[in-house]
Amino acid sequence: MSETTHEYPTGRVPSVRQVMMPRDTNALGTIFGGVILSQIDLAAAIEAHKLHPARVVTVSMDKIEFKAPVYVGDLVSFFTETLRVGRTSVTVHVTVWSQRGFGGGEHAYVTEAEVTMVAVDDDFKPVPILNPPA
Ligand SMILES: CC(C)(COP(=O)(O)OP(=O)(O)OC[C@H]1O[C@@H](n2cnc3c(N)ncnc32)[C@H](O)[C@@H]1OP(=O)(O)O)[C@@H](O)C(=O)NCCC(=O)NCCS
């Protein structure tokens, strides 16, 4: 993991930001973990598209620990950073923060993940990253 301190990344622009709605809840009334996982996946794809503005698929997501719950009305931000670029893959670090009260309250660190995306062709076979870093 590239981020070991859990300080809200003021000044960074998240790849995804979403207010959680009642439809996003689990049976307990808090936000369903799968909703957060799906947005982590989306944020990683958006980051990978900076280097490969074409088809990418998720090949792996590392272990995820949820450190704080997310509630209806929270403004959840998914910050991304490219960690590694291979021949056909891009590995992205995603950090998730939830701001209570529709974006007016405290920031809570929720989780982080490493997601590897693979560039693929129309037949879903791996292809080289179009714009790898120089
Ligand atoms: C992604 C996929 C095309 C890769 O096919 P593959 O035959 O494993 O391809 P390769 O072995 O050539 O690996 C391609 C790249 O993925 C990387 N990779 C493969 N498995 C990986 C894993 N478990 N974790 C991290 N990276 C992995 C390889 O290191 C390689 O990266 P590089 O070229 O940058 O070095 C194939 O596994 C696939 O279609 N998976 C399903 C993807 C999908 O549908 N995701 C959504 C699920 S709902």
Q: Whose CA is nearest to atom 44 of ligand 1?
A: 57
- Residue 6 lies inside a defined structural domain of this protein: no
- Residue 64 lies inside a defined structural domain of this protein: yes
Q: pTM of the prediction?
A: 0.95
pLDDT tens digit sequence for 42-52: 999 999 999 99
pLDDT tens digit sequence for 82-130: 999 999 999 999 999 999 998 789 999 999 999 999 999 999 999 999 9
Domain membership of residue 57 as a residue range: 16-119
How far is ligand 1, taken at its centre, from the CA of residue 96, in Å? 24
- Residue 112 lies inside a defined structural domain of this protein: yes
- Residue 77 lies inside a defined structural domain of this protein: yes
How far is ligand 1, taken at its centre, from the CA of residue 103, in Å? 37
- Examine the pLDDT at 3 and tell me if it is beyond 60: no
- Residue 113 lies inside a defined structural domain of this protein: yes
- Residue 124 lies inside a defined structural domain of this protein: no
CATH classification at residue 102: 3.10.129.10
Mean pLDDT of the chain: 95
Task: Count Cβ atoms below 10 Å from residue 12 Cβ, excluding itself.
Answer: 12
- Residue 129 lies inside a defined structural domain of this protein: no
Binned at pLDDT 50, 70 and 90, residue 4 comes out as low
How far is ligand 1, taken at its centre, from the CA of residue 63, in Å? 17
What is the total count of domains within the chain? 1
- Residue 4 lies inside a defined structural domain of this protein: no
